[in-house]
Chains A and B, each alone.
Chain A
Amino acid sequence: MEKRVVFRSSWLPYALIAPQMAITLVFFFWPASQALWQSMLLQDAFAAKTQFVWFDNFKDLFADPRYLASFRVTAVFSTLVTVLGLTLSLLLAAFADRVVRFGAVYKTLLIWPYAVATAVAAILFVFLLNPTIGVVSLLLHAMGVDWNYLINPTHAMILVVIAAVWKQISYNFLFFLAGLQAIPKSLLEAAAIDGAGPARRFWTIVFPLLSPTTFFLVVVNIVYAFFDTFGIIDASTSGGPVQATTTLVFKVYQDGTQAMDLGSSAAQSVILMAIVVTLTVVQFRFIERKVQY
């Protein structure tokens, strides 16, 4: 797609594009290439000696049980966040789509958690689920659950998943609702005349027609769980207990700030970049094909 009518100037376009190019080159390509370069260096803690080691940092990573564990944690975490988040928001969107009255009010009341920072969301749930004074923990204790996310790895995972899902529900809800409202009502009416009940109509008509939205949201949620949830983990569990909630992004941060292992941290960044690029390419290819139903 190109414009037929264009302006002519030998310098103006460069001047217009210069600010963005400058920022992109300085704060994007320069650091990204340094990450690639650093990922192949071995540095001691005081940066006195540096050695080029090719792919040793990567080999070390994949031999390191702690790194593999954080892969597992990330996989479990992002699966839970995606599946729970999509299921709950689809449920809410399906109901919101069929109520005629107060639809706009419900929508307003459900979209605002999107605007809450991940770290703030985490703090809210830390307070609710605080083992000694948390309001919800008291209920759990009364029900006989020995809730303590500070020492129980499963509880810690539950806490970060709840905070992450809570924040993401509004986003999923908006896209599902838009997808549902785009489905022609005549299809549903025709199915109803043929005697299909609500559940049958949902699974044979609505759900397949929503598949592009669902696919898009799956990718967005995986990216969200991988990268945007750093604030949740840092503000609530700090990766613990015993690494139970150390995701890949959190580990990059931890190794870079506390362990001061910059080579390994850079190698981890490179692996993350590869993951994002793969996800983005998958998404673009799929959107191009517009998903066949």
Chain B
Amino acid sequence: MVEHRPWRALSGHLVLLLGIAVVVLPIYVAFVASTLTFDQVTTVPMPMTPGTQLVKNYGDVIAHGSTLGSRAPVGRMLWNSFVMAMLIAVGKIAISILSAFAIVYFRFPLRRTCFWLIFVTLMLPVEVRIFPTYKVVADLGLIDTYAGLTLPLIASATATFLFRQFFMTIPDELAEAARIDGAGPMRFFWDVVLPLSRTSIAALFVIMFVYGWNQYLWPLLVTTREDMYTVVIGIKRMIAGGDQATEWQLVMATAMMALLPPVAVVVLMQRLFVRGLVETEK
């Protein structure tokens, strides 16, 4: 610090605490609501301290959803979200580390073309080509399948570029030594490139897991059966429309379960997360 003034440090702490309070408030209220009974949630004003229904509410929605809104069990949705997030994270990393390896360590005709074709995909998020992509997926018969849910989201260039950048920093001497020792390209990939990329892979995994778990528009279109819903799209269907009352305590219990896994991943692997975030944006 340039000057030493205690009140400045104090004001800093105050502003930060205020900021954190504002950021945490919606989650706190959601958590409290998820532990109350239906009558307590709908009283005005709602109690501001946790109630006693935590186990019952969470157990209820996991087993058989809400009673007035959607009855799809949230347990199944959590599983779908998990599968989707894992497939997207692992799939993206797997296909892009291989293609980056090909682009960096081989010279072949069409190499530049392939590079540019992948590069262009950086520019277009799924949201802007949503219906034509939906049609392709429908034509291939992939509606309501995990493949349909994940494959279109795996087509992205970010990870390929990240690995390409990283491979460029691996010293040439390593590849030379491997060649002199008679190791083929795949041997070099398994024994040298893959172990060196561990941290990059882990950082990317954190980002992609969160990205996959939080998808909304695509699962909304591609899933029609209740047993294929992901938890993020399942919540909205629990909010009853029209005259029916919404069981907010169950909606909030579902919301808490929908946000906990990705938040836990980010908080527990904070270092990798920050690294992944900075690297994917380069």
Known: A17-B99, A92-B15, A123-B236. A27 touches B217 (CB 8 A): no
Chain A: how many interface residues by the 8 Å CB criterion?
Answer: 101
A231 neighbours in B (Cβ, 8 Å):
216-217, 232
Contact of B105 among A6, A31, A32, A113 (CB under 8 A): A6
A35 neighbours in B (Cβ, 8 Å):
129, 131-132
Q: Do B129 and A23 touch (CB < 8 A)?
A: no
Interface mask (A208-251 → B, CB under 8 Å = 1, otherwise 0): 00000000100010010001101100110000000000000100
Closest B residue to A27 by beta carbon equals: B152
| Stretch from A55-63, A66-74, A75-83, A264-272 forming part of the interface with B | A264-272
Q: Do B129 and A5 touch (CB < 8 A)?
A: no
Known: A32-B129, A120-B235, A230-B217. A109 touches B155 (CB 8 A): no
Known: A34-B135, A117-B214, A132-B44. A273 touches B266 (CB 8 A): no
Q: Do A120 and B255 touch (CB < 8 A)?
A: yes
Residues facing A in B174-194 (CB within 8 A) are 175-176, 179, 184-186, 188
Range for the number of chain B residues in contact with chain A: 35 or more
Closest A residue to B128 by beta carbon equals: A272
B132 neighbours in A (Cβ, 8 Å):
30-32, 34-35, 38, 266, 269
B179 neighbours in A (Cβ, 8 Å):
5, 7
Q: Do A31 and B133 touch (CB < 8 A)?
A: yes
Instruction: Please tell me if A3 contacts chain B, counting CB pairs below 8 Å.
Output: yes
Closest A residue to B258 by beta carbon equals: A120
Known: A108-B270, A234-B236. A118 touches B214 (CB 8 A): yes
Instruction: Please tell me if A99 contacts chain B, counting CB pairs below 8 Å.
Output: yes
Instruction: Please tell me if A277 contacts chain B, counting CB pairs below 8 Å.
Output: yes
Q: Do B151 and A23 touch (CB < 8 A)?
A: yes
Q: Do A256 and B131 touch (CB < 8 A)?
A: yes
Instruction: Please tell me if B55 contacts chain A, counting CB pairs below 8 Å.
Output: no
Contact of B266 among A101, A114, A120, A227 (CB under 8 A): A114
Q: Do B175 and A5 touch (CB < 8 A)?
A: yes
Instruction: Please tell me if B121 contacts chain A, counting CB pairs below 8 Å.
Output: yes
B13 neighbours in A (Cβ, 8 Å):
99, 102
Q: Do B216 and A117 touch (CB < 8 A)?
A: yes
* CB proximity of B18 to chain A, nearest CB, Å: 9
Instruction: Please tell me if A13 contacts chain B, counting CB pairs below 8 Å.
Output: yes
Q: Do B136 and A227 touch (CB < 8 A)?
A: no
| Stretch from B19-27, B62-70, B195-203 forming part of the interface with A | B19-27
Q: Do B216 and A178 touch (CB < 8 A)?
A: no
* CB proximity of B115 to chain A, nearest CB, Å: 9
Known: A23-B151, A100-B1, A231-B232. A128 touches B262 (CB 8 A): no
Closest B residue to A216 by beta carbon equals: B281
A115 neighbours in B (Cβ, 8 Å):
210, 214, 259, 262-263, 265-267
Instruction: Please tell me if A166 contacts chain B, counting CB pairs below 8 Å.
Output: yes
Q: Do A13 and B255 touch (CB < 8 A)?
A: no
The 6 tightest CB contacts between A and B, nearest first, are A31-B132, A117-B214, A231-B216, A16-B102, A13-B106, A115-B262
Apart from A21-B114, A128-B26, list 5 A-B contacts with CB within 8 A.
A92-B16, A135-B29, A178-B278, A230-B127, A252-B128
